[in-house]
Amino acid sequence: TSQACAACKFQRRKCPVDCPLAPYFPAEANQRFLSCKRLFGVSNMLRFLRDADPADKEETMKSLIYEAEVRDKDPVHGCYGIISQLTERVRGLQRELELTRS
């Protein structure tokens, strides 16, 4: 069963055995692929993947996918929104800790 990955399916081409995107976008991960395509574009993703050290390729793609999915949910703030919230949370907990200690 050589089902095309979501990226090749979208580009309506045969999915080669060594398709660099297939490990990250299996046929059923169509929505994930579309999010990434929308935010970065296919050629950008391929470049990031190519430029990454072999040991870093998976982490690089995971973080790009994460960013794209967050941007899908919050097109205005993306990851910046999550980082702002977490930073506020850290400040709040630090204040609480100081108060509890004194």
Applying CB under 8 A, the residues found at the interface with a copy of itself are 38-41, 44, 48, 51-52, 56, 59-60, 62-64, 66-67, 70, 75-83, 86-87, 89-90, 93-94, 96-97, 100-101
CB of 48 to a copy of itself, least distance (A): 7
CB of 15 to a copy of itself, least distance (A): 24
Cβ atoms within 10 Å of 9's Cβ, excluding its own: 15
Query: Does an H or E element contain 35, and which?
Result: helix 30-39
Residue closer to a copy of itself by CB (options 17, 55) is 55
Cβ atoms within 10 Å of 44's Cβ, excluding its own: 13
Closest by CA position to 48, among listed 14, 92, 40, 1: 40
Residue closer to a copy of itself by CB (options 3, 58) is 58
**CA 62 remoteness from chain centre:** 5
